[in-house]
Amino acid sequence: TDYAVVVLTQMTQNPDEVRTAPQIAQGTGVPLPTVAKLLNGLAHERLIASHRGAAGGYMLNRPAETITVAEIIQALEGPIALTACVEGAASGCEVESLCPMRGNWNRVNEAIHRALSEVTLADMAASFAAFGRAPDAAVGAAQLRAD
């Protein structure tokens, strides 16, 4: 999900520009197979638009101010659920209906979902700008530290 935010943040720089997966990979430093997988998932959930053909590629489907971090996470990972017993999550717990913790986990999960829904892609892009770095520079720096 962190790479998805980096990819989408780079796409906010010129939101009307159609970019190919290799261009996005080069611009972010995220490996091309990872970028391709992320783009497919984000396009499937309609956070980005996919354009076919010689001049094809990807672009944001709507303004960055209207895309939340919660939507990005849900697009790639499904419902936000910290434990298996959170409402809406598939659960295999045999004592779920008797568990005294369930209600509390729902409250925690709702608070996290609410917080993630309050942060937009535009907010994330502004964080990069505040440091005077484009997403590609940030990822490149992270890769250097990892090596």
Residue at 108 is within a domain: yes
Residue at 96 is within a domain: yes
Q: Kindly report the CATH number assigned to the domain that includes residue 24.
A: 1.10.10.10
Residue at 31 is within a domain: yes
126 and 59 within one domain? yes
pLDDT tens, 61-87? 999 999 999 999 999 998 887 776 665
pLDDT score at 87: 59
- Structural domain of residue 49, as residue ranges? 1-66+122-142
pLDDT tens, 96-142? 677 777 678 888 888 999 999 999 999 999 987 666 555 554 554 44
126 and 61 within one domain? yes
Handedness of CA 61, 62, 65, 70 (dihedral sign): negative
Per-residue CA distances from 70 to 48, 80, 82, 119, 126 (Å): 15, 8, 13, 8, 17
pLDDT score at 5: 95
This prediction's pTM: 0.79
d(CA 103, CA 87) in angstroms, rounded, equals 9
55 and 6 within one domain? yes
Handedness of CA 64, 69, 73, 74 (dihedral sign): negative
59 and 4 within one domain? yes
Q: How many domains does the chain have?
A: 2
Residue at 147 is within a domain: no
Q: Residue 16: pLDDT above 60?
A: yes
Q: Which residues are within 8 A (CB) of 138 and not within 5 positions of it... i.e. 6 or more apart?
A: 6, 128, 131
